[in-house]
Amino acid sequence: MREHLRHYIGGQWVESRGGTRHEVINPATEEPCTAITLGTPADVDAAAAAARAAFPAFSRTSVAERLALLDRIAEAYQARMEDVAAAISEEMGAPISFARGVQAPTGLGHFKGAARALKSFAWEEEVRGARVVHEAIGVVGMITPWNWPINQIAAKVAPCIAAGNTMVLKPSEECPTNAVILAEILEEAGVPAGVFNLVQGDGPGVGAAIAAHPDIDMVSFTGSTRAGIAVAQAAAPTVKRVHQELGGKGPNLVLPGADIDAHLGAMLFGVLGNSGQTCIAPTRVIVQKDQKAEVEAFAARMFAATKVGDPTQDGGHIGPVVNKAQFDRIQGLIQSAIDEGATLLEGGPGMPDSVNRGYYVRPTVLGDVTPAMRIFREETFGPVATITPYDTLEEGIALANDTEYGLSAAVTGDPEIARGVVGQLRAGIVGVNSWGPAPDAPFGGYKRSGNGREAGVYGLRDFLEIKAIVGL
């Protein structure tokens, strides 16, 4: 079992100030695989002080210096890619092929994307006699999730370095090692002491302290809407900027006459990939009633053919969900749908027959799901698709928008018909015969899915202050 019992503060690996040992459970084996120390508010105090001390010098570095630093980080990251993949696979259950081919490369992508944004960013402009400039915001606190761990860490760290900010990071205690590896990468690349600080911990002990800390100027949070509300409430007394990417309940609106065989498979993969633990997964399939049977049969076949198995093995199978609490929640939502009248088309409650331990979920398809059901409303975060029929396209659009979330939406069908639909969908990301984000495009949501954007120039802009200079 690996141990990472110290925090990275002020360029040094230091003992916690009163923290407690925490063991991470491998979701495939239900056995401990990693130990960390859950930090304390005193650890956050030390990290914030180190970041505050480092800010004046780092914020004054030139664009050329920060570009060179981002290039060195990307080079060092490339050399540690396999280590990142192995840690993610063991701690959160992503199959090693998926961790190596998809999860780990996202971190590298954000550092390269931040460099592209930095090269093209307009730091100053003239506006009717005023000079408007962008400046580093200060110390940024970051709280990140376990489902796409290095992706969400790098989506915050990379633009902060590009902007000249300093940082205090709390990664998820469910998947902590990738953050340790990143700290080593940043140190090797020459990130100055105090610019990046890592405090392991949980939400109540460290996350809340980051959100409330008077020496932290901004908090960037990715996670559930429930936790995001708590972060915003904790941040309110210090009037810091709150940047959030929260929950999702993405619709996949299947247009009338859509070519199901050509396009639906790629969309349903968004529900299966990462064992369904993706905030932009298009889980709510909304289909015109004349194609309902065709979509149900296609989805049932695809999910029945999806293998579930050991994440240490190469292959196209899916792994377990992250922990027992998540497993139990998914089981409860599946059962609630059946109890409320949904038709079980594939999968269902319980573990797959191929495994006898671990938090594995049967790939599940539920038909005849209505807006009155819990599973239509609540984020499932598992390999579960629901199918809801509509009569008219207007009704289908209304069903797609019938959610408190607005992170993502997908449209399956003729792109020419989709042109008249995408503007009516209330979501920050809309894909046509596609469900994933695009490099350098803004990532973030409407409604209760958050209030900020990450990636590319849009992400860089969200980690900057704006100053108007008049009369100079």
- Among residues 90, 91, 173, 245, the one annotated as catalytic is 245
- Tell me, rounded to whole angstroms, the distance of Cα 325 from its chain centroid: 19
Q: Are both 61 and 204 inside the same structural domain?
A: yes
pLDDT score, position 122: 94
pLDDT score, position 216: 98
**What is the residue whose two structure tokens read 């038909």?**
367
As a whole number of angstroms, the distance between CA 229 and CA 281 comes to 22
Q: Are both 17 and 118 inside the same structural domain?
A: yes
- Domain hosting 314: range is 251-439
Q: Are both 120 and 26 inside the same structural domain?
A: yes
pLDDT score, position 354: 87
Whether residue 445 lies inside any domain: the answer is no
Q: Are both 238 and 257 inside the same structural domain?
A: no
Taking only the tens of pLDDT, the chain with its 472 residues reads: 899 999 999 999 999 999 999 999 999 999 999 999 999 999 999 999 999 999 999 999 999 999 999 999 999 999 999 999 999 999 999 999 999 999 999 999 999 999 999 999 999 999 998 999 999 999 999 999 999 999 999 999 999 999 999 999 999 999 999 999 999 999 999 999 999 999 999 999 999 999 999 999 999 999 999 999 999 999 999 999 999 999 999 999 999 999 999 999 999 999 999 999 999 999 999 999 999 999 999 999 999 999 999 999 999 999 999 999 999 999 999 999 999 999 999 999 999 998 889 999 999 999 999 999 999 999 999 999 999 999 999 999 999 999 999 999 999 999 999 999 999 999 999 999 999 898 899 999 999 999 999 999 999 999 999 999 998 8
Q: Are both 346 and 423 inside the same structural domain?
A: yes
Q: Domain of 34: which CATH number? A: 3.40.605.10
pLDDT score, position 159: 98
Q: Are both 270 and 193 inside the same structural domain?
A: no
Q: Are both 209 and 89 inside the same structural domain?
A: yes
Question: Domains in the chain: how many in total?
Answer: 2
Q: Are both 223 and 273 inside the same structural domain?
A: no
Q: Are both 226 and 304 inside the same structural domain?
A: no
Whether residue 24 lies inside any domain: the answer is yes
The yes-or-no answer on residue 75 being catalytic is no
Whether residue 165 lies inside any domain: the answer is yes
Degrees (nearest 5) of the Cα angle 409, 411, 415? 135
Q: Are both 255 and 238 inside the same structural domain?
A: no
pLDDT score, position 472: 82
As a whole number of angstroms, the distance between CA 355 and CA 359 comes to 9
As a whole number of angstroms, the distance between CA 233 and CA 239 comes to 10
Q: Domain of 312: which CATH number? A: 3.40.309.10
Q: Are both 105 and 224 inside the same structural domain?
A: yes
Q: Are both 322 and 205 inside the same structural domain?
A: no
Residue 100's closest CA among 335, 394, 291, 313? 313
DSSP letter at 26? E
376's CB contacts (< 8 A; 6+ apart) are 284, 369, 370, 386, 388
Whether residue 408 lies inside any domain: the answer is yes
As a whole number of angstroms, the distance between CA 328 and CA 307 comes to 20
Whether residue 67 lies inside any domain: the answer is yes
pTM assigned to the model: 0.96
Whether residue 182 lies inside any domain: the answer is yes
Whether residue 204 lies inside any domain: the answer is yes
CB neighbours of residue 125 within 10 Å = 10
pLDDT score, position 436: 87
Helical segments of 213-281, H only: 225-235, 260-272
The yes-or-no answer on residue 416 being catalytic is no
Tell me the DSSP string of 333-359. HHHHHHHTT-EEEE--SS--TT-SSSS
- Among residues 279, 296, 346, 379, the one annotated as catalytic is 279
Whether residue 215 lies inside any domain: the answer is yes
Tell me the DSSP string of 86-136. HHHHHHH---HHHIIIIIHHHHHHHHHHHHHHHHH---EEEETTEEEEEEE
